Amino acid sequence: MTDHHQSTRGRPRVALVTCTELTELDPDDRLVLAPLAARGVTVEAPVWDEPDVDWSSYDLVVLRSPWDYALRRDEFVTWAATVPALVNPADVVRWNTDKRYLGELSAAGVPTVPTSWVEPGESWQPPADTGEYVIKPAVSAGSQDTGRYDLADPEHRDLAVAHVRRLSTAGRTTMIQPYLSAVDTEGETALLFLAGPDGLAFSHAIRKGPMLTGPDLGPDGLYKAEEISARTARPDQLAVAERTLATVPGGTRQLLYARVDLIPGPDGDPVLVELELTEPSLFIGYADGAPERLATGITTHLARRA
């Protein structure tokens, strides 16, 4: 990265937006620096809520790791709306940072994990069903404030109620979903799409191992550790991903990247868990050529704005 005031002598300047905990960027994101330098791009890593950053001085502003926004979502969305040349754009950020978009995708025919919602101030009691459930806020990043509860266990039932009450009291909408047990064996598949000259295209896929081992017991860092490995996407997964992306408001040409997270449902068919369009880990270190493809996506968006 370069100093904010260094002359770039006509080289395009790109901001990879981060947060105060990651001023040197996430290690995976650093893999794109060399391919961008080779393309004549100057890269800086400003923090999204630094008050003295001149966002208009950048030719492109790329959201990468502003992962501390979840408790300040309104501030983050307001900030995004003031940033010229932001990708993904501010209207996508507003829509995608509240996971209630899952309801829209389900209504549009995308197979999604069944989700119920508890709004701030509402109370909730666990269903009589004694299966396992996931509880998390509708606005979150890095699996923060997320827990897994076995409702056959009386202690877990009490902890689940307390989790929802804690989120509700804090003014946060809560999501409640059945735990998809296939994640314990097959894992979660993330399909990564990156922009190119012809628009958004599939780049690579990874497998995430199971992350939720039990109830949420409070803060445990900026994000939960993940077990990641490369994976080959199946045709049925790609089909669900394409179907999901077809529902994005405004279309996919405006996007630099997209991540579609899938887990097999009870019948084995893939269902959408999340559509990540704001600040997803892109796992470019797990696929040959992915750093170069991300760099090409960035230069493609630069060219569109030239």
The residues assigned a catalytic role are 231, 259, 276
The answer to whether residues 107 and 164 touch, using CB atoms and an 8 Å cutoff, is no
Contacts of 95 (CB under 8 A, 6+ apart): 101, 249, 277
The answer to whether residues 189 and 237 touch, using CB atoms and an 8 Å cutoff, is yes
> Residues of 278-302 as b/e, b for ≥16 C-beta within 10 angstroms?
bbbbbbbebbeebbbbbbbbbbbbb
- Burial label for 252, CB within 10 Å (0-12, 13-18, 19+), is middle
CA-based nearest residue to 289, from 202, 224, 219, 209: 202
CA-based nearest residue to 210, from 134, 138, 269, 267: 134
Residues in the chain: 306
Q: Are strands 86-87 and 60-63 parallel, antiparallel or unpaired?
A: parallel
The answer to whether residues 13 and 39 touch, using CB atoms and an 8 Å cutoff, is no
Q: Are strands 42-44 and 13-17 parallel, antiparallel or unpaired?
A: parallel
Calpha distance 296→299 (Å, rounded): 5
CA-based nearest residue to 116, from 175, 31, 30: 175
> Cα-flanking dihedrals φ and ψ of residue 291, to 5°?
-60, -40
CA-based nearest residue to 260, from 234, 224, 297: 234
